[in-house]
Amino acid sequence: MAFTQQETSKTAQAGKLKMHYNEAGQGEPLICIHGGGPGASGWSNYSRNIDELAKHFRTILIDLPGFGKTDKPKIEGGFMAFMATAVRDLMDTLGIQRANFIGNSLGGGTTLKFAMDFPDRANRLVLMGAGGGIPMFTPMPTEGIKHLMNFYEPPGPSIEKLKAFINVMVYDSSKLTDELLKERYAAATQPDVIANTPLRRSTMAQIEPLWKDLGKVRNKTLIIWGRDDRTVPLDSGLIMLSQMPDVQFHVFSKCGHWAQWEKAYEFNRLVITYLTGTE
């Protein structure tokens, strides 16, 4: 059975926020957190993974504040702390005391901050192309970050800007479809998104230097990276490998920032094996 976006769509009040998520499957909770690109959402990041993950877990694809169908509040305080608290509040509403996590990019940084702030609520972690590290060799900002930060800047969003951004996300852009581009553009240009975009150069919230506290993350962690990531480069994950006490590191060649999308079959097998403790 292939799950659809519509049949898995749910909303819940999480603290002060109304949050949207997609849910499928039963068993141990698994929370999947998306990246921060224009038009990102839980479904857009994990649509190629939910069918397999839901065979083993109660799989929840969260739309973070400011994204998808979740409320678009003004981000107050530290960016990652705000996101992590929203995830905690949603877990409280859903009656989830402890969960495994998958986090991509911004979602990876959110997952790290969640594990730092609420260590008793997180079990195993999977981070891919995760924020929160610091590059050893690559000049910053990267090509992908430049596209991300400039998408909403004057003269404003355009389909050309989004196509340039998405082309950087993957190793082989020939696999991208017009349907994907149209869906992301429609999501990125909703009036409430444009009015209060979480990630843009002119109104950027404070992003905490999580790399300074990586040693606090005691969870068993699988780090996944695309060797050819042009947004959060592979070398920014090396500090995670060196500082986190219980970690594995897996690298896909011919793969960009969307490992879960470009390498979906291999990703699903790797993650399920790791999270079920059969590695």
- Whichever domain contains 171, its CATH number is 3.40.50.1820
Count of domains in the chain?
1
Query: Does 278 score more than 80 pLDDT?
Result: no
Predicted local confidence at residue 115, as pLDDT: 98
Asked if residues 68 and 35 have their Cβ atoms less than 8 Å apart, the reply is: no
Instruction: Kindly state whether residue 124 falls inside one of the protein's structural domains.
Output: yes
Predicted local confidence at residue 76, as pLDDT: 83
Cα 39 to chain centroid distance, Å, stands at 12
The tokens describing 241, both together, are 């490998």
Positive/negative CA dihedral, 227, 240, 107, 119: positive
CA pair distance 209, 232, nearest whole angstrom: 15
Predicted local confidence at residue 175, as pLDDT: 87
Query: N- to C-terminal Cα distance for the chain?
Result: 26
Query: Does 279 score more than 60 pLDDT?
Result: no
| Residue range 96-146, pLDDT digits in tens | 999 999 999 999 999 999 999 999 999 999 999 999 999 999 999 999 999
In percent, the amount of the chain with pLDDT more than 90 equals 90
Predicted local confidence at residue 205, as pLDDT: 67
- Which residue is listed with tokens 């696999």? 175
Query: Does 203 score more than 80 pLDDT?
Result: no
Find the domain containing 136 and state its range: 9-275
| Residue range 155-194, pLDDT digits in tens | 999 999 999 999 999 999 998 999 999 999 999 999 999 8
Q: Which residues pair with 228 in a beta bridge?
A: none
State the maximum Cα–Cα separation within the chain, in Å, rounded to a whole number. 51
Instruction: Kindly state whether residue 73 falls inside one of the protein's structural domains.
Output: yes
pLDDT band with cut points at 50, 70 and 90 for residue 277: confident
Instruction: Kindly state whether residue 42 falls inside one of the protein's structural domains.
Output: yes
| Residue range 62-83, pLDDT digits in tens | 999 999 999 999 888 899 999 9
Structure letter (DSSP) for residue 174: G
SS3 state at 100 = strand
Enumerate the active-site residues: 257
- Give me the chain's average pLDDT, please: 94
Ramachandran region of residue 122, left (φ > 0), alpha (ψ -120 to 50) or beta? beta
Lowest model confidence (mean pLDDT) among 31-35, 204-208, 218-222, 232-236: 204-208
**260-275: average pLDDT:** 97
Buried b (16+ CB within 10 A) or exposed e, 73-109: eebeebbbbbbbbbbbbbbeebebeebbbbbbbbbbb
| Residue range 27-63, pLDDT digits in tens | 999 999 999 999 999 999 999 999 999 999 999 999 9
Instruction: Kindly state whether residue 1 falls inside one of the protein's structural domains.
Output: no
Q: What is the DSSP string of 233-264?
A: -GGGGHHHHHH-SSEEEEEESS--S-HHHHTH
Question: Residue 130's closest CA among 53, 211, 228?
Answer: 211
Instruction: Kindly state whether residue 67 falls inside one of the protein's structural domains.
Output: yes
Instruction: Kindly state whether residue 4 falls inside one of the protein's structural domains.
Output: no
- Residue 277 or 148, more confident: 148
Predicted local confidence at residue 211, as pLDDT: 96
Instruction: Kindly state whether residue 3 falls inside one of the protein's structural domains.
Output: no
Question: Residue 69's closest CA among 34, 31, 102, 96?
Answer: 34
Q: What is the dihedral of CA 87, 89, 94, 98, to 10 degrees?
A: 60
Instruction: Kindly state whether residue 2 falls inside one of the protein's structural domains.
Output: no
